Structure formats: structure tokens, C-alpha cells
Amino acid sequence: MSKPAEPEPAAPNPGQAERARPSLAELFIAFVAVALSGFGGALPWARRMIVERKRWMTAEEFNDDFALSQFLPGPNVVNFSVVFGSRFGGWAGAVVAFAGLMGPPLVIVTVLGVLYAQFGDLAVLSRILTGITAAAAGLILATTVKMAIPLVKQPQVWPKAVALVAFAAIGLIRWPLPVVLIALMPVAILLAWFWPASRIQPK
């Protein structure tokens, strides 16, 4: 059997023998710190905190657990907080990590939401937010390009076709997401089953 490509190359991590196990309080504080430093996505900060600073996991373990969080639908980093928390503290660890990641941002965004409800009609505010949204759209565009490049480099045609169909159905025709995914996902998974990347790509 040919080995499939790992989603991300894992860097070697020395000193994993003397890794510490975080307490519940440490878990909470670590995820609060990840949440508060993570502008435009919290993943890089989670990796930095857990693998590089605290050394609670090796890069391989982090990649494995993060693969599960991405494999599941729903917010990836939030899923990850539950997986990671449960590894070190069972259900209490999962709750604590989730609360650390979501609690402070939830309070901040709600305060901003209240302010927006009060002052959203101000022309000045509205102009500033328009500019920020234009920039934020660029952030998603950059992520999209980063995701697209490995796909474009692959010799297979089906991943490009699947991506185009998903874009057109959701972005242009505006069909409901559940309908599109129920139709498209089985097709995409079958295509991946019969034409996996590792079989065609030269070693």
C-alpha cells in the first residue's frame, strides 16, 4: 500500500520525554491567551502555545489532533480546544479549554455588538467598517489562494472540478449549503477513493 501524504510535515520535537501535563487552571489560562492573541484565526497561536512554548504536545500529536478538528464540521479551533482539553483533563478539561477559548472573545464581541447597535447609524462608523470589511475580504481571499495552490499543482482534474462546482453552487447560484453538500460530498469522497493523490503523483 502506498503511504498517503501527511497533511503537514511534522517538525522533530526534542525533549518530549520531560513534557509536563497541564493542570485545569493552566489549560484555561493557555486557551484564554490563545483566544486573545488570535486575530484573523487562532490556529497559529494555538500551535505556538501548545507545541513551542508549553511543549504539552509534539508537532506530530498536534497535527493529528488538529486533523480531527478539521475533519469534523464546525469551527476548527473550537473543536480542537475540546479534543486537546479532553486529552489532558477528561470532560472537565474539555469544558475548561472551550470556556477559555470562547469566554473572553464572546464578552468582547458582545460589547462591540452592543456598541454597534447604539452607534451603527453614524456615518463615520459605517465608513470605517466598510473599509475594514474590504480588508477582511482580502484576508479570506489570501487563505483561498493558499488553499488553491497545492490543488492546482496536482495532476488530477477532479479536485479542481469539485472546488469549482462548490464555488458556483454556493457563491453564484446561492443554493442552500446542506443541499449542495449532501449532493457533492459523496461524489467528492468517491472520487478521492478511486483517484487518490498518492497513486498518481510521482514519488
In the complex with another protein, which residue's Cβ is closer, 19 or 105? 105
CB of 146 to another protein, least distance (A): 7
In the complex with another protein, which residue's Cβ is closer, 13 or 45? 45
CB of 163 to another protein, least distance (A): 4
User: If 0-12 CB within 10 Å is exposed, 13-18 middle and 19+ buried, where does residue 104 land?
Assistant: middle
Distance CA 66, CA 94 (A): 15
In the complex with another protein, which residue's Cβ is closer, 17 or 135? 135
DSSP per-residue codes, 142-189: HHHHHHHHHHHHSS-SHHHHHHHHHHIIIIIS---HHHHHHHHHHHHH
- Kindly state the DSSP code that residue 120 receives in the 8-state scheme: T
User: If 0-12 CB within 10 Å is exposed, 13-18 middle and 19+ buried, where does residue 30 land?
Assistant: buried
CA atoms within 13 A on the CB side of 107: 8
In the complex with another protein, which residue's Cβ is closer, 7 or 16? 7
In the complex with another protein, which residue's Cβ is closer, 29 or 170? 170
CB of 66 to another protein, least distance (A): 11
CB of 125 to another protein, least distance (A): 9
CB of 122 to another protein, least distance (A): 11
